[in-house]
Structure 1
Amino acid sequence: MRILIWHVHGSWTTSFVQGPHTCLVPVTPDRGPDGLGRARTFDWPDSVLEVPPERLREEEIDLVVLQRPHELALVDAWLGRRPPMVYLEHNAPHGDVPDTRHPMADQSAIPIVHVTHFNRLMWDNGRAPTAVIEHGIVDPGPLWTGEVPHAAVVVNEPVRRGRTTGTDLLPYFAEAAPLDVFGMKTDRLELPGTRTYDLPQRDLHAQMARRRLYLHPVRWTSLGLSLLEAMHLGMPVVALATTEVTEAVPEGAGVVSNRIDVLKDAVRDFVADPLRARAVGEGARAAALARYGLTRFLDDWERLLKEVTR
């Protein structure tokens, strides 16, 4: 099968392109948001091909994976036809939740595929058919050493996103342990007790795994892939009990609560007790492999793609 998909979410797409199909990714001279082409900091197989928009009409395309509302207009303009399509929704709704209406809610021809059951529940999907395919992770391996008695936090643009990503909570957690914040545009974050790192994706996992624990202070977003990656690494998790986190982090894999004092104590305890941190991290890895393994993810997508294109 030949699948047209835009390079929008590097981590998610890295898992998707491990499947058996040829993926065509648009590329433009400026490599802008609608033509980013192949990833440069993720490892993608040779089955991912860059195609300029002007050549797409000539390509055989069996299915399109939409991820943003305006991509439907791009399909019409660039292909001049509409192959079978699905709309992949990465995000939890914003706005007037739980009454936020999905951009694809007023049609029934294109299924909306959510990445968590929480997201499907909270979006108003209207009459659109829906499915949930939970995340799958390319296993980085059990790299955790915990040699650095700090908490790792992964968040992009922490200043701009503010309360959404729990940036305002970081000073409280920094009282329990030093925080190492990884992500894009973290250099704008200036808080006592925090250090920031903007690393290539290929170096991120090794650096995360050196930290004693993973802290997930996010209030409102979809289930962060960095959280699942940390669990795969064998890191104990301390996280707010919001969105899908309570499903992703079972008992024995970390501490999940909406009480800041409980979470702060957990950060302090993991830093003070590396043996407990190791044991809980092993539980986190086992839970992540069982629920968010790559094979299950690709099998779920294979079943959906066959259904949509039959």
Structure 2
Amino acid sequence: MNVLLWHVHGSWTTAFVHGKHRYLVPVTPDRGPYGLGRARTYRWPDSVVEVTPDELRRADVDVLILQRPQEWELAERWLGRRPGRDVPVVYVEHNTPKGDVPNSRHPMADRDDLLIAHVTHFNALFWDTGDTRATVVEHGVVPPRATYTGELDRLAVVVNEPVRRWRVTGTDLLPRFAELAPLDVFGMGVAGLADRLGLPPDRLTSHDDVPQERMHAELGRRRAYLHLCRWTSLGLSLVEAMTMGMPVVVLASTEAVLAVPPDAGVLSTRIDTLLAGARRFLAEPDAAARTGAQARAAAGARYGLDRFLGDWDRLLEEEACASR
């Protein structure tokens, strides 16, 4: 099957393109947000093929995966075909709603020409999709090659654009944890974060836009993983850290309450409880390792790659068959 999708979310797309299909990914000369092409910091299989807008006119496409409202018009113009009529459409909703929660109307609500696939049950609960068909395909991750050692008495964080997103990503909470141990913050747009938070460089080190495989290797050396997002669908970096065997300290919001069972880490809306958990992991490496082993088992059972790809195979085949 030929599946057309844009490169939007690196970790999700990396898992998705490990399936059995041929994946067409638009590329433009500027490699802008609607033409990134193949990933440069993730390992993708050879079945992912870059296609230009001109080439899409002649391309065979069995299913169209959309992830942003603007892609609808682009797909129609670049393909020369009508999405939802000439080619079936699955709209993947990665994000929690913004604005008037819980009354947020989805941009694809009340349509009969597509299927919305939420990546978490939390998203499905909070988005109002009206009469549009909707389902949930929970996340899956490619197991990182790195494994947890926890040799460094430091705490790891992965977050993108922590200054712009600030309270959404729990950036304002980081100084509390920097009092316990030095923080290593990985992601895009993390440069200069220590200055923005008023922390000395020895309490917070930024690692900006590090390739995924190298980032995983560095994460695994830290004693525990912090996930302090107040409002996010579900951070795949959290699932990846658990899959590596890292103990996690997690703000109990959105889908995280299902992703982290009690024996896999510390999960709470009370910052003092999270601080106490992080303090214990730092002081007791053996307890951290035991908790990390439980985190690995939990992540493997719920977010395994085989389950994820199997769910998507069934959905794609159903949508392709229904359109014939």
SS for the counterpart of 1:164 is coil
- Matched AA of 2:241: A
Letter in 2 for 1:58: R
Out of 104, 108, 127, the residue aligned to residue 100 of structure 1 is: 104
Moved more, 169-178 or 227-236: 169-178
Q: Is residue 144–residue 213 contact of structure 2 (8 Å, CA) maintained in 1?
A: no
The one of 269, 273, 284 equivalent to 2:284 is 273
2:309 counterpart letter in structure 1: L
Q: Corresponding residue for 1:291?
A: 302
Cα shift at 1:106: 2.4
- Which ranges in structure 2 are unaligned for 5 or more consecutive residues? none
Opposite residue 20 of structure 1, the aligned amino acid is K
Task: Report the counterpart of residue 56 of structure 2 in structure 1.
Answer: 56
TM-score (norm 1): 0.98
Give the partner amino acid of 2:151.
E
Task: Please tell me whether the aligned partners of residues 24 and 49 of structure 1 are also in contact (alpha carbons under 8 angstroms).
Answer: yes
Deviates more, 1:240-249 or 1:186-195: 186-195
Aligned-residue offset at 1:109: 1.9
CA–CA distance in structure 2, aligned partners of residues 17 and 122 of structure 1: 28
* Corresponding position: 1:114 with 2:150: no
SS across alignment from 1:180: strand
Distance in 2 (alpha carbons) for counterparts of 1:118 and 1:39 = 28
Matched, 1:196 2:206: yes
CA contact (8 A) 1:159 1:188 kept: no
Which of 253, 261, 265 is the aligned partner of 2:264? 253
Q: 1:108-147 to 2 correspondence within 5 Å? A: 108-141=112-145, 143-147=147-151
Equivalent residue for 1:3? 3
- For 1:279 and 1:201, locate their aligned partners in 2 and report how far apart those are by CA, in whole Å: 25
**2:241 paired with 1:230:** yes
Following superposition, the deviation at residue 172 of structure 1 comes to: 1.0
Are the aligned partners of 1:88 and 1:114 in contact in 2 as well (CA < 8 Å)?
yes
Q: The residue matched to 2:57 in structure 1 has which SS?
A: helix
**2-structure distance, mates of 1:161, 1:208:** 22
1:207 Cα deviation after fit: 0.3
Match of 1:88 among 78, 92, 96: 92
- What secondary structure does 1:104 align onto? coil
Q: Give 1:188 shift.
A: 2.6
* Residue correspondences, number: 310
Q: Identify the residue that residue 166 of structure 1 maps to in structure 2.
A: 170
CA deviation vs aligned residue, 1:256-288 (integer Å, no higher than 9, x gap): 000000001111110000000000000000000
Secondary structure in 1 matching 2:46: coil
What is the SS of the residue equivalent to 2:263? coil
* Identity percentage of aligned residues: 61
Letter in 2 for 1:109: D
Deviations 1:276-302 (A, max 9, x none): 000000000000000000000000001
Q: Deviation of residue 141 (structure 1)?
A: 4.4
Letter in 2 for 1:4: L
Q: TM-score, normalised by structure 2?
A: 0.94
> What is the CA distance between 1:108 and its match in structure 2?
2.1
Whether contact under 8 Å (1:149, 1:271) holds in the other structure is yes
| 1:194 partner letter | L
Q: 1:304: which partner in 2?
A: 315
Structure 2 Cα separation of the partners of residues 69 and 62 of structure 1: 20
Asked whether the equivalents of residues 146 and 217 of structure 2 are also in contact (C-alpha less than 8 Å), the reply is: no
- Distance in 2 between the 1:175 and 1:26 partners? 45
Write the distance in 1 (CA, Å) between the matches of 2:132 and 2:192.
Answer: 40
CA distance in 1, matches of 2:80, 2:107: 22
Q: Deviations over 1:154-209 (max 9, x none)?
A: 00111111000000001111122221111111113123221111222221100000
Question: Considering only aligned residues, what root-mean-square deviation do their CA atoms show, in Å?
Answer: 0.9
Structure 1 runs of 4+ aligned residues shifted over 6 Å read none
The DSSP-based 3-state class of the residue aligned with 1:187 is coil
1:217-246 superposed Cα distances (whole Å, 9 cap, x missing partner)? 110011000000000110001000000011
Unaligned stretches of 5+ residues in structure 1:
none
> Taking structure 1 as reference, are residues 142 and 44 closer, same or farther at Cα in structure 2, changes over 3 Å only?
closer
> How far is the alpha carbon of 1:48 from its aligned partner?
0.5
CA contact (8 A) 1:151 1:212 kept: yes
Q: Distance in 2 between matches of 1:251 and 1:211?
A: 21
Q: Which residue of 2 aligns with 1:21?
A: 21
Distance 1:270 1:152 in 2: 12
Cα distance in 1 for residues equivalent to 2:24 and 2:160: 27
